[in-house]
Amino acid sequence: MAAALAGAPALLAQQAAPPPPTGQHAPHGSHVHDGIFYFSGTGSNDGYPESDHVTVSDPFEKHVTRTMEALKKDLEREGCTMDSILHLQVFLCLPLADGVPMPTGKARFDAHKAQYDTLNKIYRTYFSPGKAPSRACMALEWIPGDSLIEIVGSALVVNPPSAAQGE
């Protein structure tokens, strides 16, 4: 036991110091570690003033476009590009609102498939040919923040921002 305790200071000294700040970080715990930007929780209202928020009753196309634009801005702020994305997880949900009927059975599957097809049509316009990252896409019951889409993922930092940019 004494030997283990005696070695503790050397072990603690080997732990890496936290990376220096890289300027403004995206919301929801996004961060850069070892040259990779990890982002989470990018939805259709992120980066937009509350007076310009979309709701679940707005067209799904608008949700996708706004989410992709917010993601692009977050990536650029952290020194990444859309083409430097390594992997994405995309979460979709159908609108849950009073007066909006929720489909059931095959109609529910068809509604999710229509969202998936719409996502793909818009999504591919944000990447250079052959540069779309690996991606998983899942349908959920609910996403916070009145968004019908949320994206989580990681990207290679290709042009690290200077510390002065965040000041």
Position 45 scores a pLDDT of 93
How far is 78 from 80, CA to CA, in rounded Å?
6
* Beta-bridge partners for 78: none
- From CA 1, how far away is CA 107, in angstroms rounded? 64
pLDDT tens for residues 98-157?
888 899 999 999 999 999 999 999 999 999 999 999 999 999 999 988 999 999 999 999
Cβ atoms within 10 A of the Cβ of 160, count? Answer: 15
Check pLDDT > 80 for residue 163: no
Identity (one letter) of the amino acid at 93? C
- The stretch 19-29 carries a mean pLDDT of 47
Compute φ and ψ for 81, nearest 5 degrees.
-130, 170
In the chain, what are the domains?
Answer: 23-159 (3.30.1330.40)
pTM equals 0.79
Alpha helices in the chain (DSSP H): 2-14, 60-77, 105-123
